[in-house]
Structure 1
Amino acid sequence: MATIREVAKTAGVSIATVSRVFNHPETVASETREHIDRIIAELGFSPNGTARSLALNKTSIVALIIPDILNPVFPEIAKGVEDVVHRRGYSLLLCNTESDAVKENEYLAAFLGRRVDGIIIAEGLLDRKGEEQVLGKGIALVHIGRKRNDTWASSVYTDFELGGFMATRHLIEQGFKRIGIIAGPEGQAEQLDKLRGYERALSEAGLPLDPDLVSPGDCEIEGGYLGAKKLLNAASPPRAIFACNDLMAIGAMDAIKTAGLRIPNDVALVGFDNIRMSALVDPKLTTISYPAHRIGTIAARLLFDMIETGTELSEREEIYIQPELKVRRSCGHSGRLQEMFN
């Protein structure tokens, strides 16, 4: 049974190029792709998971670790990963840590003992020492979340600080000067990045940072409701609120309406994530897009590149996904044309 290495050698290309024919065919020149396809047919190479397992001593199993299965962002990531995994003939193990480092480590220990071919961790807590243990076993590893400078592993990341900055700056551009924030849990680096972006936008606009306008949240609808209620009960309440995820923004909507206020006439609102529900609430929610399904797909393709070519520490890759502002009615924008396409 032919292996991917034999295909690469016969075709006169790298293993990575053969892998891209399966995982990222759009990145391979058509002439090269057709040449490799002919060699694959001649050698009878199959990317089927069972065949690969026998030929390469693989398990045809990959794992995805997420922090919160109830947050719509992470099932979307899981769907993107699973779409690629299924096409590759692999099976997917899905683990939910509830942002608990102990649970994350327990799952990783189980994977190291029972063996999986690759692991994707979304907004995880794994440090460099833990990464070395995973990669040292020859297991491919990809992070999803924020940019990490202290990592050996490959990653698909977005700039959460820039996203927080964009959300706050947009509210400033609408003329708002008292802007509150419903922040995420202090222990989550991605949420702290959004808070830093909020602070930077205020600073660059010459607006003061008022501690009374910073309300803690928990990334849940209930936390958003309580966070908005706290802001609205302040001595000088905000005229606009940035909620650090869409679930909290939806909770904030409920609190604002319960207080007898209108969105955006009395209080404007911006979220973060662009979950499907954000375009269904009334008014439709202005938000920062985090393309979760696409990110999951890219992370899985990157993981399979590593599985096929080996997991050398020196071959770490980073793929950056730019945050994007989705303007809808909740922020108080005057025009409706942009909303039609968001």
Structure 2
Amino acid sequence: MKRVTMADVAKLANVSKSTVSQYLNKRYDYMSEETKKRIAKAIEELGYQPNIIARSLKQKSTATIGVIVFNVLHMLTTQVLRAIEDVCQERDFHVIVCNTDDDPDKEKKYIEMLRAKQVDGLIVFPTGRNLKLYERMVEEKFPLVFVDRMVPNTPVDAILLDNHKASKLAVDHLVEHGYERIGMVTPPIVSHVIPRLERIEGFKHALVEKGLPVVEEYIVGMEIPYMKEGLEKLFSSECPPQALFAINDLTLMEILNFVKENNIKIPDDLALISIDDVSFANIYTPSLTTIAQPTFEMGRKAAERLFMKIDQRNEDRHQILRFSPTLIKRESVKSRI
């Protein structure tokens, strides 16, 4: 079957090939509505599909970006992705999404694959363990933006939550309601995951500000599959915490499973606050007090910063942009005063 060409569209619409090209590239400045309608009708009748590869070579752009996430199951990830896609739709760009499971080897392979496909830029939730690769992209001035994490001493724009403030909101709210023994549940404490370290630092600092001791035994830092064991050890102690602060949505799920299996009543036996305003927070019984991240604003800003770099409107200095969290008060914290 003969491939339909731009010349075929031009002939049927009774216009020049250059006019069809202008139409396809949405350059309508001197094009009448009648001409646009004829071209659209010809494209539909002929079933014309533009040659994307040839077009990319001519324009030196694939109109595609890559987004590399460390865990697509996080609520943060899915909402940020949605916002990025919205911005890309406005620009007629496509998005390729890759999930690394926080594995630096997978991250390296995905970066190399996407660059081989000549994507115009990358938005990366970095593992933090491919420094040479990040540095090479910076040296080559390849459009790159980090989300949720930054990599120290690497001059790349980063979009993050104000993690210290998020922890402070949780501690302050619990202390105001009379809680003194406050625990924190987090994935493993590792140096390359900056937000995790910031949330722990913010948690400890907020306790000290309120005149409360930092009890290291109350900080459960374990991989998700082993978190239940850590919680069992914590709550079998002589003086378990009165409240828990979950560092993210996946950690929250482990806590909820644990309290259900052990008949611990929220908030009567244990108060609970989590970062990430999960979709079921307001319908869970009791409803869950959470600290919301402005995920859609973060995703939109990440895409906007990337397109600034793609459009070669680079600023001399990179920016670390932090977004403010919001405490959403519900029923999983009750007053002990």
Fold shared per TM-score above 0.5:
yes
Which letter maps to 2:216? P
Q: In 2, Cα distance between the equivalents of 1:43 and 1:150? A: 49
Choose which of 216, 229, 233 in structure 1 pairs with 2:232.
229
CA shift for structure 1 position 281 = 2.0
Q: What is the alpha-carbon root mean square deviation over aligned residues?
A: 2.7
Which letter maps to 1:305? M
Q: In 2, Cα distance between the equivalents of 1:128 and 1:95? A: 19
The answer to whether residue 197 in structure 2 is matched with residue 192 in structure 1 is: yes
Considering fraction of residues, name the structure with more helix: 1
Alignment length, in residue pairs?
289
Contact 1:288–1:323, Cα closer than 8 Å, also in 2: yes
Choose which of 224, 236, 245 in structure 2 pairs with 1:242.
245
Q: Which has the larger radius of gyration?
A: 2
Aligned to 2:168: 165
- In structure 2, do the counterparts of structure 1 residues 141 and 64 end up closer, same or farther at CA, with 3 Å as the change threshold? same
CA shift for structure 1 position 309 = 2.3
Which letter maps to 2:159? V
CA shift for structure 1 position 267 = 0.6
The answer to whether residue 330 in structure 2 is matched with residue 328 in structure 1 is: yes
Aligned to 1:109: 112
Show structure 2 runs of 5+ residues with no match.
Answer: 1-26, 32-49
Question: C-alpha deviations, 1:210-242, integer Å up to 9, x for none?
Answer: 222111233x4x555444333221221111111
- In structure 2, do the counterparts of structure 1 residues 167 and 180 end up closer, same or farther at CA, with 3 Å as the change threshold? same
Contact 1:215–1:230, Cα closer than 8 Å, also in 2: no
CA shift for structure 1 position 263 = 0.6
Contact 1:73–1:273, Cα closer than 8 Å, also in 2: yes
The answer to whether residue 216 in structure 2 is matched with residue 211 in structure 1 is: yes
Question: C-alpha deviations, 1:64-113, integer Å up to 9, x for none?
Answer: 01001222221222111112222321121111111111221222222333
Contact 1:144–1:155, Cα closer than 8 Å, also in 2: yes
Contact 1:263–1:269, Cα closer than 8 Å, also in 2: yes
Contact 2:186–2:251, Cα closer than 8 Å, also in 1: no
Aligned to 1:19: none
TM-score (norm. length: structure 2): 0.77
Which letter maps to 1:213? Y
Which letter maps to 1:199? K
Q: In 1, Cα distance between the equivalents of 2:88 and 2:234? A: 44
TM-score (norm. length: structure 1): 0.76
Q: In 2, Cα distance between the equivalents of 1:326 and 1:155? A: 25
CA shift for structure 1 position 246 = 2.4
Contact 1:112–1:137, Cα closer than 8 Å, also in 2: no
Q: In 1, Cα distance between the equivalents of 2:230 and 2:288? A: 17
Aligned to 1:68: 71
Show structure 1 runs of 5+ residues with no match.
Answer: 1-39, 335-342
